[in-house]
Amino acid sequence: MQTRSYAVSWVIHVCIILIMCARTNASHFRGGTISWKPTGRENEVQFSFKLGWTYNRGPGCTTEKVGQLVTNMNNSYWQCTSGCNSSLNIANVNYICTGASQSENWEQGEGTFTYKFPGIGPYTVEFTGSAWVTLSHGSPGSWSIGSVVYLGERNDTKQPNISPITTGKPVYRVPYGCQSEIVIPVVDADDDVVKCRWSTGSECVSICGALPNATIDSNTCTIRLSATHTAEGTFAVAVTVQDFPQNNITIDNQVHLTTAPLSTVTLQFLVKTPVLTSNCENKPSFVSPTLPQASIIYTKVFQTVNLLFYASGNRSISSITMTTPAGMTYTSLQNDPMLNGTVFLNATWTPQQNQVGTHITCAIAEDVIGKTSDSRCITIIVKDSNECVDNPCQNNGTCTDGLCLCQPGYTDDKCQTGFEAMPNNELRAKVKTAKEFFVLVIIQNILYMQQCLEYNILVTLFTSI
């Protein structure tokens, strides 16, 4: 009798342990973001994403694997969930490992993929799942990281919109009880106005409004928080980043006002609220020769860039955490004999062909008692060393030294605009004499062959003389 009830209780214990293990295993999501840009080939879009997971429990990034492709999530996908045929798997969520912290218990990576849509959209592309880590506010339920792709042509850039980009660490440490700020870095390749707001509804699913006592400044994308809710707590943050045109424009010939967002991307991350053993002041900071906050540097494909991040503070610096584009590697902390009390890290990146475009690299320094600096973010714009590699020319145009030679009937820098020569009978109706008609047909044919749109204007001028 005694033995039997012991056995039952043992079985129950094992069950509880198994359930708890299953839950912990599943509760591993730590946010991310996705952005996109049209490739210039018809309705094809290149996506770039970052995801964060519990240390070594996502695709498998560890500190030793920074710079390598990690593939432990072969069965999880970015999906097209609206606009496409039902829940189409588009690309795997595996990524190139960009950073990991065993002490803060996260890994992060970046991946890119391209997809050719059947039309201009809109299409919703997202990665959904159901296992945020356990949170101190709100439920640790489902997540969705995504963006809506719309490929109508803007009349100002003569191409579809490019989404804004943003980045973030999987986990930010905000001292409990201190007034703190998290500045979200944002960049937009079209020079649009970028604004941030709290995510709502399906943008954030289970973690909407999960950061209590915080405000967001929509113009500067700055979150201000006093972190007074839970000491040693974990909170999820969902921010929506949108780009707005500087002037009224048209998209696919529809008027688009400056008040309407062009595209929407989401950024999600965690905030932890450690209790510090000192006051709220005296945090570490980045010092010269570190590039100033929000500096922009240019490079091209296969041309290596080096970034140095120097940090100092009243206590020694224990780490500098990097959020980087895929493939950037960085040294451990080094001492500079010329700068006493200052440590630095040397980051190196050789952009690949699929990384043409805008990237953000951020660093955060932390001292021995866990105080963190403001982030120092640098924008890196990668130019195509040979603009023709990707053939940007449409409608069978050929690319030479970055310039498009268009087929007859097409014009503009990417041969994206078609026009038709006026049929001879219409031309004939516009002029009075056979001689005028003869001259016009010749002019029209010359201009048409040279892809001049202005020939219509010339016809008008000629016939009004």
Please choose, out of 129-137, 145-153, 195-203, 307-315, the segment that lies near ligand NAG by the rule CB under 6 A. Answer: 307-315
249 binds ligand NAG (CB under 6 A): yes
Residue 112 bridge partners (DSSP): 48
Question: What's the number of CA atoms in the CB half-sphere (13 Å) around residue 228?
Answer: 8
Candidate list 24, 285, 318, 329; residue touching ligand NAG; CB under 6 A: 285
Closest CA to 150 of 86, 88, 243: 243
Q: Cα separation of 51 and 337, whole Å? A: 37
The distance of closest approach from Cβ of residue 139 to ligand NAG in the complex, given in angstroms and rounded to an integer, is 17
> Least CB distance from residue 287 to ligand NAG, whole Å?
8
Q: At what angle do helices 455-464 and 434-449 cross, to 10 degrees?
A: 160
Q: Closer to ligand NAG at the Cβ: 3 or 340?
A: 340
Strands (E) across 20-175 are located at 29-38, 44-53, 69-70, 77-82, 88-92, 95-101, 106-116, 123-129, 143-149, 165-166, 171-173
How many residues belong to the site for ligand NAG (CB under 6 A)? Answer: 31
Q: Are strands 296-300 and 376-383 parallel, antiparallel or unpaired?
A: parallel
Tokens of 92: 């795997």
Candidate list 395, 417, 456, 463; residue touching ligand NAG; CB under 6 A: 395
303 binds ligand NAG (CB under 6 A): no
**109 binding ligand NAG? (CB under 6 A):** no
Question: For residue 98, which of 349, 285, 292, 288 has the smallest C-alpha distance?
Answer: 349
Looking at the Cβ atoms of 41 and 428, the one nearer to ligand NAG is 41
Beta carbon nearer to ligand NAG, 2 or 254: 254
Q: Which CB, 33 or 375, lies closer to ligand NAG?
A: 375
CB burial of residue 86 (10 Å; 0-12, 13-18, 19+): exposed
Residue 5 within binding range of ligand NAG, rule CB under 6 A? no
**Shortest separation between residue 230's beta carbon and ligand NAG, angstroms:** 11
Q: Go through the chain and tell me how many residues it has.
A: 465
Least distance to ligand NAG, CB of residue 433, Å: 36
- Sketch the per residue contact string, 340 through 359, with ligand NAG: x for CB under 6 A, - otherwise: x-----x-x-----------
Residue with tokens 């053993």: 277
The distance of closest approach from Cβ of residue 429 to ligand NAG in the complex, given in angstroms and rounded to an integer, is 29
Residue from 206, 218, 226, 391 in contact with ligand NAG (CB under 6 A): 226
Pull the structure tokens for residue 267.
Answer: 């950024």
Tell whether residue 417 is a contact of ligand NAG (CB under 6 A): no
The mark string for 175-214 relative to ligand NAG (x by CB under 6 A, - otherwise) is: -------------------------------------xx-
CA atoms within 13 A on the CB side of 317: 29
With contact defined as beta carbons under 8 Å apart, do 183 and 220 qualify?
Answer: yes
Identified binder of ligand NAG from the candidate list 308, 333, 369, 381, rule CB under 6 A:
308
377: left (phi over 0), alpha (psi -120 to 50) or beta: beta
Q: Is 215 in the site for ligand NAG (CB under 6 A)?
A: no
Q: Does 253 bind ligand NAG (CB under 6 A)?
A: no
Positions in 35-74 near ligand NAG (CB under 6 A) = 71-72, 74
Which stretches does DSSP call E strand in 245-375?
249-251, 254-256, 263-273, 285-287, 296-300, 305-312, 317-323, 329-330, 334-335, 343-349, 357-367
Piece of 194-202, 244-252, 398-406, 423-431 that binds ligand NAG (CB under 6 A):
244-252
Instruction: For ligand NAG, give the closer residue by CB, 67 or 212.
Output: 212
3 state DSSP class of 242? strand
Tell the burial category of 116 from Cβ atoms under 10 Å away from its Cβ (0-12, 13-18, 19+). Answer: exposed
Q: Where along the sequence are the contacts to ligand NAG (CB under 6 A)?
A: 71-72, 74, 84-85, 118, 155-156, 212-213, 226, 228, 247-250, 255, 257-258, 282, 285, 306, 308, 313-314, 340, 346, 348, 395-396, 407
